[in-house]
Chain A
C-alpha cells in the first residue's frame, strides 16, 4: 500500500490527509448467478482523487461503483473504504454510507418530500443535526448547485437537470468524504447535461474525492486525475487522462474512444 500526504482546501480550511487509499479493491469478484460481473478487480482511489470510469454498457462499471457503498455485495476478494471493510451484513456499513454520497442515473429523489426536506432528511434523521441547522446547510448547498429558489418545490415540479442538481446537493448535505456518480447525465435531455456537468466540475475543484461513471469525455478530460476503462467485467486500462486520450495501451480502449469521440 502506498502512503502519501495530500493537501487540499475545503471551505477555507487547509486539510491535510495522511493516509493510504480511501477506496481499495483487492482481487474483487462479483457474480450475478452465473454471470461473472466483476473479474479480479484491483484498484485504489486516494483521498482527493477524481477517478472517471468508462466502458461499454454491461462492462461492470455500475456494479463496481455500487460495491463501494455496499448496494451490491462482492463475492470474493477484499474491499476497504475509509479503512473499513465492506461485506454483506457488515455492522459498519450504515455508518460508512454516511461518508459516501451517491448520485444516481435516475436521480431517485424522494417524491413525497420538498426539495428542502429531501436535503435535510439525511442530516436530521441520520446525522442527528437540529432542523434549523440542517436547513441553513441545505440552503447553502442549494446555492452551490445554483437552484436556491427551488427549495419549497416538489421534485416532480423540477426539470431533469434541476432534479439531478438537487440529488447532488442531497449527497453534499451529508458532508461525506467520497462522492460516487453513477452515469449522472445519462437520463438527461441534451440541453440539461451541461448545467449538471458544470456543478460537478465546480465540485471537483474543491478537492472532493470523486468516482464517476460517465460517457462525458469532455468532462472527464477536464476533471479526471485517473481514467479507467472497463470491458466485460475487467479493468483494461488505468491511466492519467493525457495518456488515456492520446495513446492508450490497449486496442479495445482505443476502439471504444474512437467510437464515442467520433461525434
Chain B
C-alpha cells in the first residue's frame, strides 16, 4: 500500500510540473525494481559488451598461445589496391560480385519456378498437384550439399553445362521449393470472397490471378520473400565445393597461398555480414511500405 502511495505523489508532482496533462485515474503500479534494473538499456549494453569481449579476448588469447602470426596489414590489398593503373578492386571484391550475381540470377529463376509450382499445386488438377508434391518432396528431402554434387557431377556432364550454370540451377531448384510454399501461403491468405467476387464479374482464372489475387497476396509474400533473398546469399557459399569463383572460394584460395586463415575468414564473415545487413535494412523498408492496414 505504501508503494502505491509513494508513486502517487511522484505522478502528482509530474502532473503539476508539466501542467498540460491531467489524468484522473491513479497511476498504475510500476514493475519491481529488479526487473527495471535488468531491462534498462545501460545494463543490457554492459552485459552485451561483457559477452562479446569475452569471446574476442579468449580467441585472441588462444591464437597467441598457439603462436599465431597476425598479419592484418596484408588484408586491404585483397579488397582494393592502388597500382600504377590507379584504383583496382581486390580478389575478394570480385568474389563478392560473383556471389551477388549468382544469388540474384538464381533467385530470379527460383521465383519463376516457384510460381509455376505453386500454380500447379493450386490448379486442382490431380496430375498437377502430384507433380508439384513429388518435386517438393524430392528437393526438400535432399541436403543442399548433395544437391550441389548431383547438379555438377551427375547432371553437368549429361546436359553439358559448366560449374557456374550448375550452381545457379542447383540454388534455384532448392529455393524454388521454399518459394513456392511462400507463394502458395500468400495466395491462400487472400479471402475466399475475393475469388467469388472476381468470378461473379465473369473473370477467367488467369484474369482472377493477375488482377485480383496476386496483387493482394504480394503483401503477404513480401516479408518471407525478402528473408528468402538473404537466405539465398548465405547459402550461395556452399557452391565453393564445386570451385565456383565466388567469395568463399576466393577466400580459400588466398588462405592456401598465404596461410592467413584467421584474418581471411574474419574478413569474409564481415563482408557477408555487411552485405546481408544492407539487404535486411532494404527488406524492412519494403515491408513497411507494403504493410496495409485493413
A102, B202: Cβ atoms closer than 8 Å: no
A240 within 8 A of B: no
- Bound complex: CA of A158 vs CA of B199, how far in Å? 23
A97, B202: Cβ atoms closer than 8 Å: yes
Closest Cβ of chain B to A186, distance in Å, is 14
Contacts A104-B197, A121-B211: A111 and B216 contacting too (C-beta < 8 A)?
yes
Contacts A108-B193, A111-B294: A71 and B200 contacting too (C-beta < 8 A)?
yes
A233 within 8 A of B: no
Specify which chain A residues have a CB less than 8 angstroms from the CB of B123 in the assembled complex.
none
Specify which chain B residues have a CB less than 8 angstroms from the CB of A122 in the assembled complex.
201-203
A102, B200: Cβ atoms closer than 8 Å: yes
Specify which chain B residues have a CB less than 8 angstroms from the CB of A97 in the assembled complex.
199-202
B212 within 8 A of A: yes
B105 within 8 A of A: no
From B200, which residue of chain A is reached at the shortest CB distance? A102
Closest Cβ of chain B to A45, distance in Å, is 17
Chain A, 120-163, CB within 8 A of any chain B CB? 121-122, 125-127, 156
Contacts A108-B194, A111-B294, A121-B211: A94 and B201 contacting too (C-beta < 8 A)?
no
Specify which chain A residues have a CB less than 8 angstroms from the CB of B215 in the assembled complex.
112
B196 within 8 A of A: yes
Q: By DSSP majority rule, is chain B's interface helix, strand, loop, or mixed?
A: helix
| Count: A-B pairs, CB below 8 Å | 64
- Bound complex: CA of A126 vs CA of B202, how far in Å? 7
- Bound complex: CA of A243 vs CA of B200, how far in Å? 34
Mark each residue of chain A from 104 to 123: 1 if its CB lies under 8 Å from any CB of chain B, else 0.
10101111100000000110
B207 within 8 A of A: yes
Specify which chain A residues have a CB less than 8 angstroms from the CB of B211 in the assembled complex.
121, 125
Contact among B199, B201, B204 with A174 in the assembled complex (CB-CB below 8 Å): B201
A108, B204: Cβ atoms closer than 8 Å: no
A100, B200: Cβ atoms closer than 8 Å: yes
B202, A174: Cβ atoms closer than 8 Å: yes
In the A-B complex, the 7 residue pairs with the smallest Cβ-Cβ separation, listed nearest first, are: A98-B202, A108-B197, A122-B201, A108-B193, A102-B200, A97-B202, A126-B202
With A97-B200, A98-B201, A108-B196 given, name 15 new contacts (CB 8 A). Answer: A70-B199, A71-B200, A94-B204, A96-B202, A102-B197, A106-B193, A108-B193, A110-B216, A112-B292, A122-B201, A125-B211, A156-B294, A170-B201, A171-B200, A171-B201
11 chain-A/chain-B pairs, Cβ below 8 angstroms = A69-B199, A97-B200, A101-B200, A104-B193, A104-B197, A108-B191, A112-B292, A125-B203, A125-B207, A126-B201, A156-B294
